[in-house]
Structure formats: C-alpha cells, structure tokens
Amino acid sequence: MPLLENVVASTTDFEACSLLSRAYIVLGAPDKAIAPFQTAMQGMTIAERQIYFESADALPQLFAICDALTVSKLRFSDAANLYQLAMEALPNHSLLLNNLAVAQFNQALFDKSTEVLFKLLEIEPANVQARTNLGVSLIMLDRSEEAIAQFKIALEYEPNFLAAAGWMIGEKNRICDWEGMPALREKVASLLDNPNNTQSVNSFILLSNYDSPAKFLQWSRRNSKENFANLGITTRPMSGIGREHKRIRVGYFSVDFRNHPVSHLTAPLFGLHDRNQFEIWVYSYGPDDSHPVRARIKESTEHFVDLEHCSIEEMVARIRADEIDILMDLSGNTRGSRSQVLGHRPAPVQAQWLGFIGTMGSHYYDYTIADHFVAPKDADAYFEEKLVRMPHCFQINDTQRPPLDIGLTREQCGLPADAFVFCDFNQSFKIQPEIFSAWVHIMQQVPNSVLWLADGHADYLKNIRAEWQKAGLDLARLIIAPRVSVKQHVPRYQLADLFLDVFPYTSGTTASDALWAGCPLLALVGNTMVARMAGSLVQAAELPELIAYSLEEYVQKAVYYATHTQELALLRQHLITKRDQLPLFDTPNFVKHLENAYSQMAQMAWAGEPLTAITLSPVIPCRRESSDF
C-alpha cells in the first residue's frame, strides 16, 4: 500500500489510481478509495472505460465508491458524475441508469431523473423498481395522475411490489382518488404483515390510512430498519456519564426552520427557555426561505447553526463537538429529514417531537413527547421510545400571533351570508373517503349549509368536486379557499361556524389555528397518537363536548350543533373569552414542563442511569357528554 500511495501521489496514471482505490475497498476503507477512483475514471478515455468495465470487479467497485459518497457524505453530484462517466462506456446498463436517476433525484433534479428513468423503461419495461422511482419523480414534479399510472403498471408486472403499492396509496390520498382504496389498503397491510417481505412503506403515509397502534409500531420498526441501514457508523455512541455542564445543552434539529407548521408552533419556544438553566442550539439543515418565522427563531436562540450543505458526518461531528446533552428531532420521518444523524448517536439523549406524530420505531430515539390524551394508560407498549407525558397537551402553541381583527367578511371570502359554514383547512391527503362520507351525511341533514375547504392540487379539486356531485350535492355548497399568507389565513376561521376535523390523521397546527381564532372544532378520536391529536387539543381547550369517538357520534354532533346554534355560540364564546386561561395556550408553563422533563433526562444520562418514562403533573382527561346524545 505505501508503494502504491507514493506512486499515485506522483502521477495520475489511471491504472495505479484504480488499483489503489480497489485496495482501499478490500481493506474496508471506502472513503479513502473515493479520490483515486475519481482520478482514474476522469483519466480514462471512453474506450479505456469500456475495457475497464469488462472486469468483474469494476462495477462493484463503482457502486461501493458511490455508496461511500452518498450514504453519509450526501455527495450526490459526485456520484452522478461517476455514473455518467460509467454510462459513456455502458450506455444501456439498467442499474447505472437507475442509480444515476436516484442521485439526480437527491439533488432535486427531478426533470433529469424522470428523463433517465423513461429511457431505462424503454429498455426494461418490467423493471418495477425503476418504474416506482419514476412515479416518485413524477410526484415531485406535481404530475400526480401520471405517477399513479406508473405505480399501477409496476403492480401489474409484480402485484406484491410493496414500494409501488405504498407510494400509490400516498399519492391517491393527496389527490383524493379513492377508486380501489379499500382493496389497496388491504394489500399494503397484508404485505407489511408478511414476514417474508423485507420491503417497507414510509410510515408517514401509514399515518393517514390506518388506526391500529400495534400494527403501526410493527410497520414503523420495519420502515426504521430500512431507513437506518448502511449508516457506516465508526464511532461509539456519545455518553453523558460524568458530564456536569453548568447549563443543560439542548439541540433542536430540523429541516423545517422555515415557513412550515413546526416553525409556526415552536417560534416562541427558543426565547422562552430559561437561559440560567439551559443552553439552546438550533440546528437547521433545510433551506433558508427568508420567512419572518425563521428570522424570529434565529434571533431568539443563543446558537443558530446552519447545516444545510453539510454531510451526515459533518452534522454528527458538529453536534458531538457542541456536547449536546439532549438532541430533539423536530422532523422525524418526514420529507427531507436527516434522521440518519441520530443513528450515529451524537447525543446521550435523543428524542422526537411535533414533526412526526407517532413512534419512529427505532432504538436510536429514547423519547417521544406525548400527553395523557394522545397516549392514554397502557399506550407505552405501542411506542419504541419511552414517553414523556405532558400535563395537558403535547403540542406547543404560539400566542404571539398577528391580529385576528382584520375586517374580513364572508362576502370577501365568497361565503353566503346566511348559511351555516362548516370548514376544514387541512391538506388534501388527510381527507379520507370515510370522513368525506360523514361530511356528505352532515350536509344532507343540514340543507342550509356549505363546506369550506382549502385549495390544493388541481387533480384533488377535480376529484373532490366529482365525489361531491356523485353524492348528489350542489357544487355551489362546496367552496374552496385560496392560498393566502398565515396572517390572512387564520382570521378566516372566524367566518366559519364549525370546523369538521379529518381522520385518522387529525389536525395539529390547523386545529390550533381554528381554536385560537374562536372557531369550535369537532374532533373524531381514534386509537393511534395521530388519530388522537386533535382530540388532545380540543381537550386542552376545555371543550370535551366537541370530541366524538365514532363516525356516528361525529355526524350526530355536527348536525346537533348546526341546528342548535345558541349552544354552539356558547362554545365559541368560551374560546374567545377564556383563550388566555386555556391550558392549550399557556405557552410559558408548557416550556417550564418541557424543561422539567429535560432536567430529568439529563440527570439520568449524566449519572449513567437507565432512561425511564417521564410523567409531568398527571391529569386524567375527562369526557363530559350532553344528555342530548
């Protein structure tokens, strides 16, 4: 090796460089193999590369190098360059084409990845992995119906290809294409339950379609195993034993410090922390969109660290160097997240909260922040993590909001002046056929009413209107609210009479916005954490009358309050007059409870004690019911 290294140091001979690179791979040092391999590939002519790739070891060497570039270094551009050089020698090699498309996808070059995958499928139309990858690229280009068509073709070639079925159910959710949905859900569940099937489905997609905490834990563990494969961990987990920092060091880690619900919820958090007891880091690895909420977070925290262009290795190294005691992942298993960082255990205590509502199914996470409603007694068995039960609600809220009184009128928003206005401003993927059917029943029983929904994808609008008409309802009773800024949006809730929540992925930030604006929200409660989320918020707003535990009760309550408007007015008045007294909006106390939990976590970690579940000032949620039901 020293001789080879000396030769390579003094020459660019591609044969020597290639040999040195191969030697590093054999020795288990793929990182060192990258530079000489790049030199070798760039130094070869196309003809020389053609000869080189006739070797049995050449392609495995290329794939090992590209794995080393992408798994933890996130150098997708460098990997794409190597694949393109290899394809000059092997232009129709299907695996090279697929891997090039994946590298382009990870650079957000979706037009290019789509083009490459179409080329691949001309050569191998039955390549179901490539066809599924094409569907995902089309999703990123907002070409939903084309994406679903590709997933359907993949399943025609291979009916049990779980990746295609999983992505298809997610995209059909997004545009409210419910044709064949029950059968598709059954197929996905059956494949996930099959122990011989090693594939998984992104657990974020599962949140919208299933309400079984036991199944969700099982399926999340499978998804986690896939997400944390090939981490390339070379360092020991960070230990907190013996640490005695003057202040507990907490790091908040997220892709969403931008115009995003997580940031809108947590905006007050960082400035409210007690700086005598806690030192706060915010680790942002998402884009800077210059939104005021990002600026507010940046200005209110002690250490705002921009990791957007860093590799996994660099993120891990920075968090370790800062000696973070508690690392809080605010993104979880959502788009753009880098949960793999937590797989390297850069902090002694690692938790997740807000971005992903449910268990991550991974032993890399020690805690999930919950409450007594979203995680009732005995729910611990359905979480891989230990639970921190907050005393009232797991969700923080921003009470420093723009004014509500901006003079909006129903006429300005295209709403009839004398109708009862039901609303739901959730994203379209949360509107499942069962809840839509309940809405139809409600509308049929409340003739002088309209349903006000948020704008969305053109295919969603087309489909939801078609379903509306299929149910025999007048299109004039379905009103779409255009996209506006948060400042303009939240006051719109004041024009609605009753918010009808979705299920099983219930409202979070959307529910808080409605309740803050004084709009009563009817929540349907299920079994998973996400299916109990809106119920927790309504409970913390001290309105258990607006919680339903079945679709039948949900419909009954909606019709009741729409026809007993004086009672509904009292609930609205409660929200408006008692807003500053409601546990849901007591943000300073929420932060104190969270800090209490952090103190317990840190003390256990510093003492080397096993981490245990934490319950803060337990309260037992009550269910008050009217005698009318």
- Banded pLDDT at 9 (limits 50, 70, 90): low
Residues 181 and 45 in one domain: yes
Query: What's residue 17's pLDDT?
Result: 87
Query: What's residue 74's pLDDT?
Result: 94
- Mean pLDDT for 30-35 is 92
In CATH, what number is assigned to the domain containing residue 249? 3.40.50.11380
Q: Residues 136-185: pLDDT tens digits?
A: 999 999 999 999 999 999 999 999 999 999 999 999 999 999 999 999 99
In a domain, 289, yes or no: yes
Do 194 and 221 touch, CB atoms closer than 8 A? no
Residues 496 and 354 in one domain: no
Residues 575 and 604 in one domain: no
In a domain, 79, yes or no: yes
Residues 54 and 175 in one domain: yes
Q: Residues 446-482: pLDDT tens digits?
A: 999 999 999 999 999 999 999 999 999 999 999 999 9
In CATH, what number is assigned to the domain containing residue 430? 3.40.50.2000
Do 417 and 411 touch, CB atoms closer than 8 A? yes
Residues 564 and 602 in one domain: no
Residues 364 and 425 in one domain: no
Q: Which of 148, 180, 196 is the last residue of a domain?
A: 196
- Mean pLDDT for 31-50 is 93
Q: Which residues contact residue 75 at a Cβ distance below 8 angstroms, ignoring those fewer than 6 apart? A: 69, 311
Burial (CB count <10 Å: 0-12, 13-18, 19+), residue 579: middle
- Mean pLDDT for 308-313 is 95
Other C-beta atoms lying within 10 Å of the C-beta of residue 4: 17
Residues 574 and 606 in one domain: no
Could you check whether the bond before residue 402 is cis, i.e. omega within 30 degrees of 0?
A: no
In a domain, 302, yes or no: yes
In CATH, what number is assigned to the domain containing residue 15? 1.25.40.10
Does the model's pTM come out above 0.85?
yes
Residues 503 and 596 in one domain: no
> Which helix (H) or strand (E) is 170 found in, with range?
helix 162-174
Residues 597 and 575 in one domain: no
What's 28's DSSP letter?
A: T
Residues 186 and 250 in one domain: no
Q: Residues 58-106: pLDDT tens digits?
A: 999 999 999 999 998 999 999 999 999 999 999 999 999 999 999 999 9
In a domain, 498, yes or no: yes
Residues 382 and 258 in one domain: yes
In a domain, 213, yes or no: no
Q: Residues 259-281: pLDDT tens digits?
A: 999 999 999 999 999 999 999 99
Domain total of the chain: 3
Is residue 228 pLDDT above 70, yes or no? Answer: yes
Q: Residues 572-603: pLDDT tens digits?
A: 999 999 999 999 999 999 999 999 999 999 99
Query: What's residue 624's pLDDT?
Result: 32
Residue 353: give the domain boundaries.
229-392+586-629
| pLDDT, the chain, mean | 94
